[in-house]
A and B are shown apart, each in its own frame.
Chain A
Amino acid sequence: MPIRFEDDAAYLEEVVSVEEAEELLEWVQDHPGKPLDWSGCDHLHTAVLQVLLALEPPLKGTPRDPFLAAWVAPRLAGPAEEGAAPNAHE
């Protein structure tokens, strides 16, 4: 399962495909302010990326994948990072 949903956080792991976008969207809407930990993520589908961009959930960690770390993470930082800070330690 590429996304592990827990009560106070969701974990994006390995390859997050287009099928997960809907479920992730619902979880983010139901858990406002709860962080997404994507440090174990290798790739996320553009639809998932759109969820992150549009709803700006707090993100935790830096993806282990260099492409995501180099090009996607900086773009999702900014407002999201500030929100992530209080929840950074689970």
Chain B
Amino acid sequence: MSALLDQFINEARDLLEEINAGLLALEEDPANPQTLESLFRAVHTLKGSSGLFEAAPLTEVLHAAEDLLSRIRQGELAGGREVLDDLFAAMDRVESWVGTMEAEGDLPGDAPQVADELGGRIRARMDGPAPEASGGGAEGGAAAEVVGDWPEAFLQAAYAATAGAEAAVALVYTPDAQCFFSGEDPLQLMRSLPQLAALDFAPAEPWADPAAFDPFDCRLRFRAVSTADPEAVREALAYVADQLQLAPVGPAELILPQGEALGNGEFRQFAAKARELLGEGHLQALREAVAELRQATGAEVWEASVLRWLDTVLAQAEPDATAAWALVESLETGKNPVCDDVAAAEELPAGPDAPAAGGGGRSPTLRVDQQKVDQLMDLVGELIVAANGLPYLAEKAESPDTSQEELVRALKEQHSLFDRLAREMQGEVMQVRMLPVSAAFQRFPRLVRDLSRQLDKEARLETSGESTEADKQILDQLGEPLVHVVRNSLDHGLETPEEREAAGKDRCGWIRMSAFPESERIIIQVEDDGRGIDPERVKAKAVERGLISAEEAETLEESQAVALVMQPGFSTAEQISDVSGRGVGMDAVRSMVEDSGGTLSIANRSQGGTCVRMDLPMSMAVTRVLLVEAGAQKFGVPFPNVLETLRVDPTTIHGVKDQRAMSWRGRFIPLVDLAQQLGKTRQPPVEGEWPPVLVARVGAQEVAFLVDDFHSGTDVVVKPLAGCLEGTPGVTGTGVLGDGSVLLVLAMEELV
């Protein structure tokens, strides 16, 4: 692969991530100009760089997307959900093509046809007649920009005129001051507007002195609302597009009470009464109550404006209940009403298939801060200088004049220099390998979006602690287990909106992913506010599956029962869904996490829902181990497992048959002979001395290990066991000690 292509692929991936994030943000806030701007730029840049390669189909798709975004950016088109779905689909395809380009250096054979289809679909959106068909509610920002400063009376007239209409367009037309000289007649243009629902005009600035009044200096500004197709409106005004602000608007978006709020308790009392009347459907009584209160309220205040709006809404032949409720609520909150078009949201089509769980077979590359590389370079320079010192040392050693003492001192000096450099370099390299957790989190907003649509659930993803750093390898290995956990939460944890409503919860559930460091570990949690795990069901299933006996089940505490879902062969999903029912249960997740040197725990949150917690090492490259001796051999125990080293009074060790236990910090914990577990024989203890014991954390419990002796702690680079040694029980890997001897590093979990 050429270096240029290599660079393009890396850049493309970064840009695609940016684009995906931008599209998601756009879904939240369809008219945010900053999002649109950065999204457009990212697509534009990617299109530009793709032109350097023989990838015409890819460029074609991006070009179409760019054009579409450009029109949305200019407010000429609404970015509804269908439009975004097309863009998502296009970007997914581009991403997979980038993968193919990386692997095969070329696009797949069907690329031109696919590009034609995708590009055609996107272009059809642009030529498509009705951008506002995607639902008026989605256009909040754009509409507010156009109608935000309209006078109330006109807004109310416009509301009344559009209340029954399916769609409406609001526009502000400020003709050029000199327009009469180019033969324009703005009033004539307004006359030509199709399906005019409301029209208002006023001088943009007050008239000059009547004596100096110039009728040919056009000062008027027109405001209009039409219930016609926005394209038709646009067409009618095509020649003055540059003097036009135009946005599709839902009737509810016109409800913009104005004025200074009194914030008076009287209105809150009224709101309570109004709720009652509204709830019982006494609209006429409510209108009367509104009229009464209006008389007692100064016309200028904001509350009076809300009341006038309420009256306007109720005066319609078919009053919009949602708007009325929102207005009543705004009397309580003191904020302008937000009328979401819930109905439109429910009519959305099913989402596309969930994106593939994995990253699509990316080859591992690492993007490194230039500064870090520069520091490494400096260290390498020092290392070369230090190495150049060695020949002098050799010469010195050869010389008969050098005393042994002198030589030793020189060697020690040299060693300390090398030692410092090696440590610093190690530190730098570790830093290079550290990545923020956001690298592992970034695919989830999309996953949650697509999955929740697929499952007909409403879910919101919250993330925190994305800047927490962890070793790249750990983060890479974390991706898959996290996907399973989040899928599980969405599929089994969160209820359907109807169930949630029935349970008195918000229709929209949440999933929270958080990361934070804890001593030398990094904790990643996935929580949800769903139904939680039913311990009774879990127990019943575990008994049914033969994982535990019925008697055992009775004695289990809730937390222990919940932990059963991590047992191999456990799955409580009543119906195998295509989301998480792929035969990958929590046991697989657990083994994946444990492969990364972590532990997995799962529990019900006291406030409802579940919490899955992954406790992971921050870095894999170097592990700090405690050296212990058992059966006359040294072993390494990873420090995270070590709780305490102590010597115990043999009389406090109790034995029942061949099980032994000792008391530790007021508790009884099992005592295990480490040498015996490793198939060796313990050295006979020195007469009169208490035997050394290592208390270790093994999974969620503490276990005491009887050992021969303790040695120091040390850092080793742990290499996994390979070849025929692979899978040796009790050993996670090997490290090399300073004296060149090989150290077996223990997997404490497998020794109990």
By a beta-carbon cutoff of 8 Å, the part of chain A in contact with chain B is: 18, 21-22, 25, 29, 43-51, 53-55, 67, 71-72, 75
Contact = CB atoms under 8 A, between A and B. Distances in A.
A46 B203 contact: no
Please indicate which of the listed interface residues B191, B203, B215, B219 has the most CB atoms of chain A within 10 Å of its own CB: B215
Interface in B354-410: none
Given A53-B203, A71-B196, A22 B215 contact: yes
Interface stretch (B15-23, B181-189, B608-616): B181-189
14 contacts: A22-B215, A43-B188, A45-B180, A47-B216, A48-B215, A49-B187, A50-B218, A51-B213, A51-B215, A53-B207, A53-B220, A54-B207, A55-B210, A67-B191
B215 A21 contact: yes
Interface in B147-196: 175, 180, 185-188, 190-191, 196
Interface residues of B, number: 21
Contacts of B191: 43, 67
B175 A54 contact: no
B201 interface: yes
A25 B213 contact: yes
A75 B210 CA distance: 20
Contact of A47 (B190, B199, B201, B215): B215
A50 B187 CA distance: 11
Given A50-B219, A54-B207, A67-B191, A45 B213 contact: no
Nearest to A53: B203
B200 interface: yes
Contacts of B186: 46
B207 A45 contact: no
Contacts of A49: 187, 201, 220
Given A18-B180, A54-B213, A46 B187 contact: yes
Nearest to B218: A46
Nearest to A71: B199
B201 A75 contact: yes
Contacts of B220: 46, 49-50, 53
Interface string B210-230: 100101101110000000000
Please indicate which of the listed interface residues A21, A46, A53 has the most CB atoms of chain B within 10 Å of its own CB: A46
A71 to B, nearest CB: 4
A46 B175 contact: yes
Contacts of A22: 215-216
A46 B185 contact: yes
B210 A46 contact: no
Nearest to B179: A46
A45 B186 CA distance: 8
Contact of B180 (A47, A54, A71): A47
Contacts of A25: 213, 215
A46 B243 CA distance: 16
B199 A50 contact: no
B171 to A, nearest CB: 14
Contacts of B210: 29, 54-55
Contact of A45 (B175, B185, B200, B203): B185
Q: Shortest 3 CB-CB distances between A and B: which pairs?
A: A71-B199, A21-B215, A54-B207
A55 B213 contact: yes
Contacts of A43: 187-188, 191
B514 to A, nearest CB: 58
B213 A46 contact: no
B203 to A, nearest CB: 7
Given A46-B175, A46-B180, A49-B220, A72 B215 contact: no
B181 to A, nearest CB: 9
Contacts of B180: 18, 45-47
B184 to A, nearest CB: 8
Given A18-B216, A54-B213, 14 more contacts: A29-B210, A44-B187, A46-B187, A46-B220, A49-B201, A49-B220, A50-B220, A53-B203, A53-B207, A53-B220, A54-B207, A54-B210, A55-B213, A75-B201
Interface string B685-729: 000000000000000000000000000000000000000000000
A88 to B, nearest CB: 24
Contacts of A48: 215
Contacts of B213: 25, 51, 54-55
A23 to B, nearest CB: 10
Contacts of A51: 213, 215
Contacts of B199: 71
A45 B215 CA distance: 10
A43 B219 CA distance: 19
Contacts of B216: 18, 21-22, 47
Given A18-B180, A71-B196, A75-B201, A50 B188 contact: no
Contact of B218 (A47, A55, A72, A75): A47
